[in-house]
Amino acid sequence: MAEKESLAKIAFIGGSGLYEIDGLENVVEKDIDTPFGKPSDKIIVGSVNGISCAFLPRHGRGHVYLPSEVNQRANMYALKSIGVEQIVAFTACGSLKEKIKPKDFVIPDQIFDRTKNRPNTFFGGGIVAHVGMASPFCNEIRDIIHQSVYELGIEHHFGGTYVCIDGPQFSTKAESEVNRQHGFSVVGMTAVPEAKLAREAEMCYANISLVTDFDVWKEGEEVTNDAVIATMNLNISNSRRVIKDLVAKLSKREHKCSCHDALKSAIMTAPEKILLNKNYKNVALFLDKYFNK
């Protein structure tokens, strides 16, 4: 049976510019191997005001992975393996609406996937699962994030759709206009397949989108690296304030959502086929509680 260390129940994933947590004490770096390869970086485990939490820089320290190069399966597996139950993921993004301005935070409630050929499931090879994704983010965590950013006085938008593209290039004007016509709120490159894999791993997951620009649709405010980096630095300062506040709030949360048993009715393959499958060892971390008690 796959065993799981209980090092931290709360984890934060840092996006562009967010590579560490301020005030983290008793730090231990975990170098983890997974059946799906190595995570983006060592997982940093420590405590904030006495509360254990973990941190993983999505692009690696020094920002060395393109969005499509991030090994999302290894990242999610590694976090699950140390006992993580709740994830707050930060992503830099572009705004697709006039009212959503650079430096604003967005707490999306939906995702639209425009990526191609990114491995987006732990399953396959004779083990079939179909988890529900109607609500791709944990609404309980979204509510807690909403409370936190409101109390901290950060300009924010509660709800909206995050459309995920492959990148690494920014959108064309035509692509940006089509995304706007669909009513999407922000465009980014990393929330997929992260949210899908978190659901398969039965971890509560929510996203905070940090707006850096107006994508390329707004005349005179076209996205450039210089503009993105300048705004990003302001966003990161606010992100660190939010993290410190969220650690305390999430540690007191009572789980009433269905994220923690997302696989309960999702497995389609017959139990006898699953336990005899040579690939079972790769997903035992998720399935042992159902099939190998």
Residue with tokens 């004490």: 25
Q: How far is Cα 118 from Cα 73, in angstroms, rounded to an integer? A: 10
The partner residues of 95 in beta bridges, in order of sequence, read 186
Is 81 within 8 Å of 6 (Cβ atoms)? no
Q: What are phi and psi of 78, to 5 degrees?
A: -60, -45
The partner residues of 136 in beta bridges, in order of sequence, read none
Please confirm, yes or no, whether 215 is among the known catalytic residues: yes
Q: How far is Cα 105 from Cα 268, in angstroms, rounded to an integer? A: 38
SS3 content of the chain, % helix, strand, coil (to 5): 30, 25, 45
In this structure, what token pair is assigned to residue 267? Answer: 């497995």
Q: Angle, nearest 10°, between helix axes 280-291 and 72-81?
A: 40
Nearest of 61, 55, 50 to residue 25 by alpha carbon: 50
Q: How far is Cα 255 from Cα 80, in angstroms, rounded to an integer? A: 17
Nearest of 67, 57, 201, 214 to residue 122 by alpha carbon: 201
Nearest of 155, 121, 288 to residue 231 by alpha carbon: 155
Report strand pairing: 161-164 vs 110-113: parallel
| Residue 102 φ/ψ region, left for φ over 0, alpha for ψ in the -120 to 50 degree band, beta for the rest | beta
Please confirm, yes or no, whether 104 is among the known catalytic residues: no
List the catalytic residue out of 143, 215, 245, 288: 215
List the catalytic residue out of 213, 226, 245, 261: 213
List active site positions. Answer: 213, 215
